[in-house]
Amino acid sequence: MIQLNDIKAVYFVGIGGIGMSAIARFFHENGVKVSGYDKTVTALTSQLEAEGISIYYNEDVERIPKDVQLVVYTPAIPKEHKEYQYYLQNGYSVVKRSDVLQIITQSSLNICVAGTHGKTTISTMTGHLLRHSGFGCNAFLGGIAVNYNSNFWASDNNVCVVEADEYDRSFHKLSPDIAVITAMDADHLDIYGTAEAMEEAFIEFTRKIKPGGWLISKYGLKRTGDLVADNHITYHLNDTNATVHSVNLKVQNGSYVFDVVFGDWILKDVLLNVGGLHNVENALAAIAVAHVLKIDDEKIEDAVTAFKGVKRRFEYVIAPGEGDVVFVDDYAHHPEELRALITGARSLFSDKKLVLVFQPHLFTRTRDLADGFAASLDMADEVILLPIYPARELPIEGVTSELILNKMKLEKKQILSKEELLNEVTSKVDSNVVFVTAGAGDIDALLQELKKKIEA
């Protein structure tokens, strides 16, 4: 296995990915020379460049550094990528992001958060709780923590908080001391084939938990009985059968106040300033981790109150009170995430009409989950679908956004191009509207333009 101490220079193929950039930052922080390739300039790649990392935006075998000890690639790049192929054919150590996480975490105390949704928020909340309380951790996140404007931070404490990605079975390379499983809904069927195979992968993940370790799983998960851990507790928003749950939940000025029950332990009047009931539930999982680590009650409460959220996770583009319209943006790209997003928005803005713009992500996911997407989107008052964002995939015949549209029962629904959306958005919003954008593609590139038009 590669030794971290031997690495003086590293190259990333796909450095702008959210998980890839966290590891690039880790190496950069540790004095390693970091450079990489990405397809497009984004806010994140610009930030990496400002931090001193060299990034190139065109495939060029002549230019790539030849003196690197390690090449890290993302499975999202095509196998025929010229730079990837050059390194592969010339005997370099070429590994996936998950292999590097395996090496980094082999001798640390690891908190690994897995699940088909919620994992980015819970891992970010957990990392924040450990950092804010002074416990300390190294955090490798799949989103940008608003508090720190980063998806990575370091600590002298040999503890790692890692977002454990189920895509490509990456999470099987980790060794958790504490594992969290949020959901095991069918997804990534292009990799797993069936929902059952995916569930098996999560069961296998629990077998990686170290002896004496903890599993914190969402109450009511299918096949909970097959999950393996020496210490197993469950969490749920409000089901009292779960080991950890909330009671006395109230909405106050767009925030939530609640008590946390964890067996005999009660944490009273916790204040969460992040929207969405699903985020109260996410906070319960993070609080459970902090309590297992014996962090003081007061420090836990202070950290939760100070938490500002994750970019693109129920993020206010225009917050309540900032303008006539409330504008929320979210990364939701699975039917259950959309359901949680809409339910969360309704819990805070029950008196407003909900207009939702959704950009489907991947042809295979749209094809496999079209019924679920339609059912979740029907919960809104009006829906605008954008064309499918292809990411790593080629088009599939007959799979377009119309597949979802045609299954929806909602009356007010349509498909628009990005340009049409920008032209028509002002006719969709007024002071009685909460306007929501959702998707994991490039819909976030439209946010500032949409905001400008709405405010004008």
Are residues 210 and 164 in contact, defined by beta-carbon separation less than 8 angstroms?
Answer: no
Per-residue pLDDT at 335: 95
At CB < 8 A and 24+ separation, what contacts does 238-245 make?
A: 243/219, 243/288, 244/216, 244/284, 244/285, 244/287, 244/288, 245/219, 245/284
Q: Rounding to the nearest 10 degrees, give the CA dihedral for residues 8, 14, 16, 22.
A: -50
Q: Is 119 annotated as a binding residue?
A: yes
pLDDT range class, residue 222, cuts 50, 70, 90: confident
Q: Is 117 annotated as a binding residue?
A: yes
Are residues 112 and 164 in contact, defined by beta-carbon separation less than 8 angstroms?
Answer: yes
CATH topology of domain 8-97: Rossmann fold (3.40.50)
Maximum separation of any 2 CA atoms in the chain, in Å: 64
CB-based contacts of 260: which residues, under 8 Å, 6+ apart? 244, 245, 246, 266, 267, 270, 284, 287
Per-residue pLDDT at 365: 92
CATH topology of domain 107-306: UDP-N-acetylmuramoyl-L-alanine:D-glutamate ligase (3.40.1190)
Question: What is the residue whose two structure tokens read 């767009």?
Answer: 254
The model's pLDDT over 55-78, given as tens digits with 9 standing for 90+, comes to: 999 999 999 999 999 999 998 888
pLDDT range class, residue 238, cuts 50, 70, 90: very high
The model's pLDDT over 304-362, given as tens digits with 9 standing for 90+, comes to: 999 999 999 899 999 888 888 999 999 999 999 999 999 989 988 988 999 999 999 99
Domain 315-455 has CATH 3.90.190.20: yes
At 425, the amino acid letter reads V
CB-based contacts of 257: which residues, under 8 Å, 6+ apart? 248, 249, 250, 269, 270, 271, 272
Are residues 57 and 39 in contact, defined by beta-carbon separation less than 8 angstroms?
Answer: yes
pLDDT range class, residue 92, cuts 50, 70, 90: very high
Per-residue pLDDT at 147: 96
Mean pLDDT of the chain: 94
The model's pLDDT over 132-186, given as tens digits with 9 standing for 90+, comes to: 999 999 999 999 999 999 999 999 999 999 999 887 778 999 999 999 999 987 6
Q: Mean of the pLDDT values across residues 23-35?
A: 96
Per-residue pLDDT at 197: 85
Per-residue pLDDT at 193: 66
Are residues 12 and 36 in contact, defined by beta-carbon separation less than 8 angstroms?
Answer: yes
Q: Is 121 annotated as a binding residue?
A: yes
What DSSP string describes 370-395?
Answer: HHHHHHHHTTSSEEEEPPPB-TT---
Q: Which two tokens stand for residue 171?
A: 């999470």
* Domain-wise residue ranges, the chain: 8-97, 107-306, 315-455
Taking the whole predicted model, whether its pTM rises above 0.75 is answered as yes
Are residues 440 and 361 in contact, defined by beta-carbon separation less than 8 angstroms?
Answer: yes
- CB neighbours (10 Å) of residue 77? 18
Q: How far apart are CA 399 and CA 364, in angstroms?
A: 8
- CB neighbours (10 Å) of residue 302? 15
Strands of 359-452 (E only): list them: 382-385, 413-415, 433-438
Per-residue pLDDT at 189: 59
Q: Rounding to the nearest 10 degrees, give the CA dihedral for residues 85, 91, 93, 94.
A: 10
